[in-house]
């Protein structure tokens, strides 16, 4: 007797199927039943993998964060912090085997869908806390101290700008964009601030002289 084909189910497989449905129907219009059908599973099985539709674009987030935290713990203290951050970010972003096109779709969905932006704020808070804990180790400080928390916020703001630039320019490489963003942040203290010039072409300093 021939056995019916079995579906190889995983968080990644459901995520891939869901992203295809989102691209066709839009996130808000897509129902859980449609995602389950596209993935070849039941609605009940879907909820064994995801608590809600909002969780899908983040994949196996808890496991990925645990892996990232473990990777940070293995890094020595002899590397520039931002170099470690760039490598960590690219490791985290390279887990999707579908390639940059699918990853762009995922990030556009997260950043441009109101329901997901609110959900993303919580997830990204957890994500950048991992960076803050690494910074705390390097600073010999408590993760809740101002310094490590400031580093986490700087990292978050830098990545927001990098993602925005990457999504704006279809030809941009994510790794190069992320690296350029952190290089610029590191250079900010050394940038000269040009004097403000009035409409008449003279700076305030010159007028005071």
- d(CA 56, CA 49) in angstroms, rounded, equals 9
The per-residue pLDDT for 201 is 45
Bigger pLDDT: 34 vs 117: 34
Q: Do 34 and 66 have their domain in common? A: no
The per-residue pLDDT for 189 is 87
CA distances from 174 to 29, 96, 147, 154 (A): 30, 13, 28, 18
- Residue carrying the six token digits 């295809």: 20
The per-residue pLDDT for 103 is 85
- d(CA 204, CA 148) in angstroms, rounded, equals 38
- SS3 assignment, position 197: strand
Q: Is 26 left (phi over 0), alpha (psi -120 to 50) or beta?
A: left
Q: Is the pLDDT of residue 10 over 90?
A: no
Task: Of 28, 81, 71, 24, give the one whose Cα is nearest residue 53.
Answer: 28
Question: In angstroms, how far is the first alpha carbon of the chain from the final one?
Answer: 97
Q: Do 108 and 24 have their domain in common? A: no
The per-residue pLDDT for 207 is 45
DSSP notation for 104-163: HHHHHHHHH-HHHHHHHHHHHHHHHHHHHHHHHHHHTS-TTSHHHHHHHHHHHHHHHHHH
Q: Residue 71: which CATH number?
A: 1.10.357.10
Instruction: Provide the whole-model pTM.
Output: 0.79
- Residue carrying the six token digits 């803050």: 132
Q: What is the DSSP letter of 203?
A: B
Q: Do 81 and 183 have their domain in common? A: yes
The per-residue pLDDT for 190 is 84
Q: For 73-82, 109-118, 171-180, which range has the lowest pLDDT when averaged over its residues?
A: 109-118
Note whether residue 3 is domain-resident. no
Per-residue pLDDT band for 200 (boundaries 50, 70, 90) equals very low
Q: Do 154 and 84 have their domain in common? A: yes
The per-residue pLDDT for 136 is 97
| Predicted confidence (pLDDT) per residue in 164-182, tens digit | 999 999 899 999 999 999 9
- Residue carrying the six token digits 């830098």: 158
Per-residue pLDDT band for 115 (boundaries 50, 70, 90) equals confident
Half-sphere exposure (CA, 13 Å, Cβ side) for 199?
0
Q: Do 91 and 184 have their domain in common? A: yes
Q: Do 29 and 90 have their domain in common? A: no
Q: Do 109 and 181 have their domain in common? A: yes
Task: Of 110, 76, 70, give the one whose Cα is nearest residue 92.
Answer: 70
| 186 within 8 A of 82, measured Cβ to Cβ | yes
């Amino acid at each position: 007797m021939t056995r019916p084909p079995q579906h190889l189910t995983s968080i990644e497989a459901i995520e891939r199927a869901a992203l295809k449905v989102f691209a066709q129907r839009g996130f808000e219009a897509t129902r859980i039943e449609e995602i389950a059908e596209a993935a070849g599973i039941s609605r009940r099985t879907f909820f064994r993998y995801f608590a809600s539709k909002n969780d899908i674009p983040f994949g196996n987030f808890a496991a990925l964060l645990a892996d990232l935290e473990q990777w940070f713990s293995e890094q020595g203290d002899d590397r520039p912090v931002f170099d470690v951050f760039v490598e960590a970010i690219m490791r985290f972003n390279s887990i999707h085997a579908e390639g940059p096109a699918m990853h762009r779709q995922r990030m556009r969905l997260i950043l441009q869908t109101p329901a997901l932006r609110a959900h993303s704020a919580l997830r990204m808070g957890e994500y950048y806390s991992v960076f803050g804990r690494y910074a705390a180790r390097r600073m010999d400080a408590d993760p809740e101290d101002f310094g490590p928390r400031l580093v986490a916020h700087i990292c978050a703001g830098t990545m927001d700008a990098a993602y925005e630039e990457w999504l704006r320019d279809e030809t941009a490489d994510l790794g190069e964009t992320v690296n350029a963003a952190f290089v610029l942040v590191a250079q900010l203290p050394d940038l000269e601030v040009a004097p403000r010039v009035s409409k008449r072409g003279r700076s305030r300093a010159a007028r005071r002289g």
